[in-house]
Chains A and B, each alone.
Chain A
């Protein structure tokens, strides 16, 4: 593809490079042309920047709106993190606010509320990792074992659905079912049992939010595993069966190894994301359960910064969170490489 382009652009821009053109035009070259570095060298040798720009300018223009949006709404705010090193006041603005060095970070790190948020964040992540993560894998294997494609498709369509509901909706539904005046309580009271209000109990909060996550996203989480299961070569099962492996042995020695790369990939993503557990989900229920059980890093930043106006302090907490998250992703990826897995990205 690139070779064709090169020739075309060279012809149109009047750059005569017959030697290069002949070299890239061969059928052998063309086959390997979709691979990166070689082509680049060829193109670089054959065309000047100007000619390449003329050739590619419409493609570059196409990316500009997105790049512009990212520049404004993703990159400029990164610079805005300087308020973490200031005593920022919205009336004075960033340029004129006094610099205070690392004071805000010291304050954050000695704040018991901050550490409570850290603890809650990690506990919630760990809990969800343990109880939520295996469920999509289990569901995918179960669904994959069904013979009828129609039944499989129907069930898939149903369990994907809650993923597309908002957290407000999910929490509202849970409140209607499990809340103090909810369906479960009605039935319990009507049958002479003692009622209970699961929605406001800090002791059962972990179970509550995990079951909400499962209801919302377990079906959706299945999608990747189903695709990975489809990609397993049936002849592996056949060979295993010929060798005398029963269904459980086949699952252990064929199915699970087939899922391994995906499982590891998702674990990494989950770990990298571990400081950002369900922000909307928790902010919605913070009032009902209290900050003691539901304050996580994101809600901490929201309440200290946006609600209480302690901007610099909240920015420092947010920056710490961002940096630790980044380190977690990079670290987890490194570990994946050490285990010989592809990870999220690789140096290629």
Chain B
């Protein structure tokens, strides 16, 4: 596919309407050949810069030890394929447990965050209700002044939440920014529909559940992704609040395993060296990014719409 050149409209004799790229506006001149080359190269470099590292890491994780040794490290040219690394990861041991912890926290946390945020955003979506301004104020102030790490830590430990999964969920449960995005979208919904439902006697809960939410699936999905990614990627909260290594989420294990070169007990099969094999390390990286790759395509197309609505009206 060429990126810039105009499609040749006349080349096919078919009259059937095909989906063609829109024409350049009449006043807009086509890029010069030099510009075309420059643009295409830049874009190719940008795309490769993102994809190439991911490609070579995924490929290394499914390569045999021999292929890796031959390549002297990360594998760029595919050789023999082996799923050993993944088999090791998913058959018990530290990584398996960390995956379970991360999956659990992400699932529970995302649902909780989403429910609380949607309720709050809807509750604040109509200026003029009682206590609207002070409540909104309570939210917005936290965007300007954060309490700081030490008092937060003292609070969490004071509540006895050290080494509990709640410490990974509750302190980061809501993001005021996400609530503002949701609220902006709710405010943009045609109020006439909601008013007519109100006249028909629907309660606010029912309006939210049966009218507003079905109308805002896209933005809710985006916010759910934001929260989900936040929990899945949570790293610092775990370092701060979790001392018991058996409760560590995946990101912490990824750090000690790949960045610090710590060998993880119970993970390495007999006969291998002390440090984990490269394939195994890469497999942990892949496992850490797979859920994102999996959810991302479904939500990605809504980003611009969802984020901008919040940003413009916030």
Residues of A within 8 A of B (CB): 1-2, 4-5, 8, 34, 36, 39-40, 43, 49, 52-53, 55-56, 58-63, 65-67, 69-81, 83, 90, 94, 139, 142-143, 145-151, 153, 155, 157-162, 164-169, 171-173, 175-177, 181-183, 185-186, 189-190, 215, 219, 223-224, 226-227, 234, 237-238, 241-242, 246-247, 279-280, 283-284, 287, 298, 301-302, 305-306, 311, 314-315, 318-319, 321-322, 325-326, 329, 345
Give the residue among A73, A155, A175, A305 with the most B Cβ atoms within 10 A: A73
Interface size class for chain B?
A: 35 or more
A107 → B minimal CB distance (Å): 15
Q: What would 18 A/B residue contacts be, using CB atoms closer than 8 Å?
A: A1-B191, A4-B199, A56-B129, A62-B119, A67-B135, A70-B176, A72-B155, A77-B152, A147-B23, A148-B21, A150-B21, A166-B251, A185-B73, A302-B149, A311-B150, A315-B148, A319-B148, A322-B148
Q: Mark B168-182, 1 if CB is under 8 A from A, else 0.
A: 001101101001000
* Residues on A with beta carbons closer than 8 Å to the beta carbon of B152: 73, 77, 80
Closest 5 pairs between A and B when the two form their complex, measured CB to CB? A80-B151, A77-B147, A62-B123, A166-B233, A66-B120
B284 → A minimal CB distance (Å): 9
Q: Mark B120-154, 1 if CB is under 8 A from A, else 0.
A: 10111011111100010011101011111111111
The prevalent SS among residues of A at the interface is helix
Indicate whether B37 reaches chain A with its CB closer than 8 angstroms.
Answer: no
The one of B4, B251, B260 that contacts A287, using a Cβ cutoff of 8 Å: B260
Report the bound CA distance from A247 to B30 in whole Å: 10
Residue of B nearest to A215 (CB): B49
Q: Mark B198-230, 1 if CB is under 8 A from A, else 0.
A: 110001110010000000000000000100010
Q: Mark B44-83, 1 if CB is under 8 A from A, else 0.
A: 0011011101101100000000000001111010000000
* Residues on A with beta carbons closer than 8 Å to the beta carbon of B49: 215
Report the bound CA distance from A58 to B209 in whole Å: 13
Indicate whether B240 reaches chain A with its CB closer than 8 angstroms.
Answer: yes
7 additional A-B pairs beyond A34-B191, A168-B288, A322-B145, beta carbons within 8 Å, are A2-B128, A5-B198, A60-B129, A63-B135, A66-B174, A166-B288, A224-B308
Residue of A nearest to B27 (CB): A241
Using A62-B123, A160-B303, A176-B57 as known contacts, say yes or no to A315 and B151 having CB atoms under 8 A apart.
yes
The prevalent SS among residues of B at the interface is helix
Using A66-B116, A182-B73, A237-B27 as known contacts, say yes or no to A326 and B145 having CB atoms under 8 A apart.
yes
Report the bound CA distance from A75 to B145 in whole Å: 10
Residue of A nearest to B129 (CB): A56
B281 → A minimal CB distance (Å): 8
Report the bound CA distance from A150 to B303 in whole Å: 16
Stretch at the interface among B8-16, B85-93, B263-271, B289-297: B289-297
Task: Assess whether B21 is in contact with A280, with CB atoms less than 8 Å apart.
Answer: no
The one of A167, A219, A241 that contacts B50, using a Cβ cutoff of 8 Å: A219
Report the bound CA distance from A336 to B292 in whole Å: 37
Report the bound CA distance from A78 to B146 in whole Å: 8
Report the bound CA distance from A160 to B296 in whole Å: 10
B258 → A minimal CB distance (Å): 4
A1 → B minimal CB distance (Å): 4
